[in-house]
Structure 1
């Protein structure tokens, strides 16, 4: 089937290009409005002319796509919050007083809880926008909830970029959520003044009512967290080991509410309310119940990108059934994507949104190919074969994207999905039944809960068994953005040739494959060139690397250097070069730069005249005296030092007018050749 014959597909593509353009270039809003007005006028003229012709000319199509592009630019510009004058970022000074409410609890780390905080006032002035609030787990800090109104006195700081090379850029991720600053909450810098009963408050309240109904079962934490993830997508408290097992087994999508979950809910709803069709307005009532329930579920689950995509798609499907019309799946995909991005354009940059749409599109696009195969005349055999085939097809579609974002391939995803997809579907249906009986017949719910708990334990143990074969999980696969684009070009060319085995399509596929190989060779050649010296922001131990063409020398006293995530990320970014581990020396030379290391012993030689003085492991030294003796041109303090020491050293360097770099504040330090 020719996908591009559907104009909605092309319109959606140009719309997304407009969003991407505004995100990266951010033109002035005045020019964006003028562009939209101009393209609207051109489109109106072309539409008026097109009505006079039976066969449409290309001008009308170009005008349509131009308008779609400009609307995409305008949509993102209007959703870029700092572009508005009353955004909090325009009122930031030192030691601001902020008033606002907690809107959402995020997944915590081992040290701190994290929340989104919506600011309503700053120094008494009405503003809007949200920041990231971090609360240490040390002490007696209680957990906040949506709607908690707080007054905070403190300095709002920009969210730091990547602290180490090729590390996940958390600041860039939050920027796509319209979050640009953070604040550390301490007992002495805030006061809770009440609770605001707004939308976020009621969402969390009723979500907790639903989830707390399972308390009567006294499930284990592992079982309870899986239920929370499967039913309402709440994974904040899931332990790291369970998440890692699901990831390494290739079934992490089970814990993220997606099309599979919504399809099951949709089917159950239609089954139970089918008798309504017998009534005069029963079909309309059926449609309203389905739409209302699906959107209520989406709201309670947090309106994540994959959930919204699924609910919007099924909303269009339900509307089509109500009108006795079956829309084409490509049109439904395109229209649902346009609808979502009109209201939430930053969803385009969400990994879940991208994986969700690409997986569904691949399954639909390749359906005529794999549906022609029947492996058996038995329905049970065909069911499990369909599960495997669809899982494999979806995995092919998202493979380049998975490599780009996650840099790993779980080779046993076939075995995992063969059991987990049917079992998780059963668990979801049973979980919904238990949820209903929690409120209606608690005694019967407890009986069903035992079966639910057993099913989840079996699923978790099976996934843990699959994940235990660590050699079948290929990790740290380097993959750049150009390779991502070329890989999808190869995939598209291959599918086109499979549909019509023409010489021109074969030539296109072979050329794309050659381009991919040339891109790989060029990437390897570029990464093997040059040299650089890196001082890492590594908290547990000092880590330095020196890259010499196709070799990386790592200086560290870490007992397990190859397990260091910063070193692994750097090596992956350099496309897996040879690594040589060496112990930390007292003096290093790199490209005529002499680097003197002073560690916790505080011992250094007075004969050295270093270009760079590197302070590690909190040495008890008089920095003024060290500067007078060694006369360094630059001083660096890595993340192994006490913060109080770093603060004192920074003041000393400012006084002596010597450049000072603290990796805990500014991230890694690079010396290039």
Structure 2
């Protein structure tokens, strides 16, 4: 049985690894090897693979073809994002594409530049904008508003020297090619088309709908403002109302993953459909439609798209009578996401998502079998601990490298935030359904606010405990790789010892 699993596991893993190597090579050699050379090489390799019938040589040539494909796609992606910006002040028309958030005397938001210096541009320029507010008139901007502005468009650059987090690279990965500072006297309302094509217009309307829904359901200026801001972040991805203290408390306690829309949230939504319709092919199909509809409503952020792809693949595998996710499925999901955007390979969210799932696949079962309690409550508690530990062991090197922080009570935090997050998302669905029924809607609203309030109080309590986190413990890239080699070597050694015994 073990041998069969190995035979099934290795082909897609080999392809995924070769594809990733090709992407890295395409990035490093962008100025030296053109997309045409990569593409030609790939064609030659695949032709040779078809002509040469020796199995081992064919395997090598297929891997080389996959590598060349990675280089081709990476070269193409870099060419698309390598936009030359004017060095002088530019006049442009743009759309506000994210909820503007107040930071002292400025507003921060995303903009999509549709025309530059009086000329329409073929591909919109995505930029991060910092807008100096006019405190006398209190200018208000919303998602979907058009503006005419004048400012200097700069290439993204790093803003902190105290971490390994590469902000400029993060901007590039997420499609931003510029950043700019706009004084309030250089910005005016304007009528701007919602997009160049039907898909762009539909995406913009979805973001506007999300913001309006957030304001309708979760806008509150009273004592429950903090709870509403967390609910809005968890269910619609709108973090504009979250204050700095709340974000910091979630980060210190190890609960930040519930604030960022990710696999946890889509997994809960996915489970709602399975709960309602069972595990049939129809239920799986409805689940796929449901998670992609949710992804569209929240604006298709990369973390949600990544999770939606993984869950869709899981659902399709289930439909064709495969019982569970495997490394094969995980490798296929990685390839699909990297084909869509090769730059995702450097996205911290992408790395942590796949390492967390890989950790669960590798360590969960051996850990669980150490105790394997038969009591249902103890089984759930021990299973939750094993899931948290498995994911944490495979992700903490990345966290240390990028953020220099380790949350010491992450297991305790997950015992609180995961059930609360599940209840909040279930109640959010009920909140939308019961909008026409005022009395029932008020009851659901009360429950969801209480759940969010309990979670917030618990998070602040854990964050305030002595030794709640280890701070400023950054490790280098080399140390990160050595740490992963150490982890994998120990796992391999333990498995060898188990087989011998």
TM-score (norm 2): 0.89
Larger radius of gyration: 1
- The answer for the alignment partner of 2:474 in structure 1 is 478
CA deviations on 1:618-639 (whole Å, 9 max, x unpaired) are: xxxxxxxxxxxxxxxxxxxxxx
Q: What is the alpha-carbon root mean square deviation over aligned residues?
A: 2.7
Q: Pick from 255, 261, 269: which aligns with 1:257?
A: 261
Compared CA separation, residues 167 and 499, structure 1 to 2 (3 A): closer
Aligned to 2:153: 156
Cα separation, 2, equivalents of 1:313 and 1:292: 14
After TM superposition, the score normalised by the length of structure 1 is 0.67
CA displacement at 1:367 relative to structure 2:
3.0
- Distance of aligned partners of 1:120 and 1:453 in 2 relative to their CA distance in 1, 3 Å threshold: closer
The structure 1 residue matched to 2:114, chosen from 120, 126, 144, is 120
Query: More relative contact order in 1 or in 2 (CA 8 Å, sep 6+)?
Result: 2
Distance 1:44 1:68, change over 3 A: same
SS at match of 2:181: strand
Match of 1:489 among 485, 490, 495: 485
Q: Trace 1:547-626 onto structure 2 (pairs within 5 A).
A: none
Shift of 1:38: 1.9
In the TM superposition, residue 178 of structure 1 has moved relative to its aligned partner by 3.7
Aligned CA distance change for structure 1 residues 449 and 502 (closer, same or farther; 3 Å)? closer
Q: Give the 3-state SS of the residue equivalent to 2:497 in structure 1.
A: coil
Residue 211 of structure 1 pairs with residue 209 of structure 2: no
With over 3 angstroms needed to count, the CA separation of the structure-2 counterparts of 1:102 and 1:124, relative to structure 1, is: same
2:198 equivalent in structure 1: none
Contact 1:416 1:463 (C-alpha < 8 Å) held by counterparts: yes
Q: Which runs of 5+ in 2 are unaligned?
A: 195-200
- Greater strand percent: which structure? 1
Q: CA deviation at 1:496?
A: 0.9
Q: How has the CA–CA distance of structure 1 residues 108 and 312 changed in structure 2, closer, same or farther, with 3 Å as cutoff?
A: farther
Q: Distance in 1 between matches of 2:49 and 2:165?
A: 46
2:43 matched to 1:40?
yes
Instruction: Give unmatched runs, 5+ long, in structure 1.
Output: 278-282, 506-673
Q: What residue number does 1:199 align with?
A: 202
* 1:441 corresponds to: 437
1:517-556 equivalent positions in 2, closer than 5 A: none
For the structure 1 residues 216 and 400, does the alpha-carbon distance in structure 2 shift closer, same or farther, using more than 3 Å as the test?
closer
**The one of 232, 254, 258 aligned to 2:236:** 232
Whole-angstrom distance in 1 between the partners of 2:164 and 2:264: 32
Corresponding position: 1:186 with 2:183: yes
For the Cα contact (< 8 Å) 2:218–2:232, is it kept in 1?
Answer: no
Indicate conservation of the 8 Å contact 2:253/2:410, yes or no.
yes
1:64 aligns with 2:62: yes
* Distance 1:216-1:298 versus aligned 2 partners, 3 A rule: closer
State the aligned residue count. Answer: 486
Deviation of 1:155 after TM superposition, in Å, equals 2.7
Structure number with higher helix proportion: 2
Q: Could you list the per-position Cα deviations for residues 375-420 of structure 1 after superposition, in whole angstroms to 9, with x for gaps in the alignment?
A: 5321011101111121111111111111111111121222222232
Deviations 1:356-375 (A, max 9, x none): 11001110112331232345
Out of 414, 417, 434, the position equivalent to 1:417 is: 414
Asked if 1:403 is matched to 2:393, the reply is: no
Instruction: Spell out, residue by residue over 1:621-659, the C-alpha distance to the aligned partner (whole angstroms, 9 max, x if none).
Output: xxxxxxxxxxxxxxxxxxxxxxxxxxxxxxxxxxxxxxx
Q: Judging changes above 3 Å, is the alpha-carbon distance between structure 1 residues 310 and 325 closer, same or farther for their aligned structure 2 residues?
A: same
Are residues 146 and 33 of structure 1, via their aligned partners in 2, closer, same or farther at CA, if it must alter by over 3 Å? farther
Q: Deviations over 1:251-292 (max 9, x none)?
A: 1112222222222211211232349x6xxxxx45x4443222
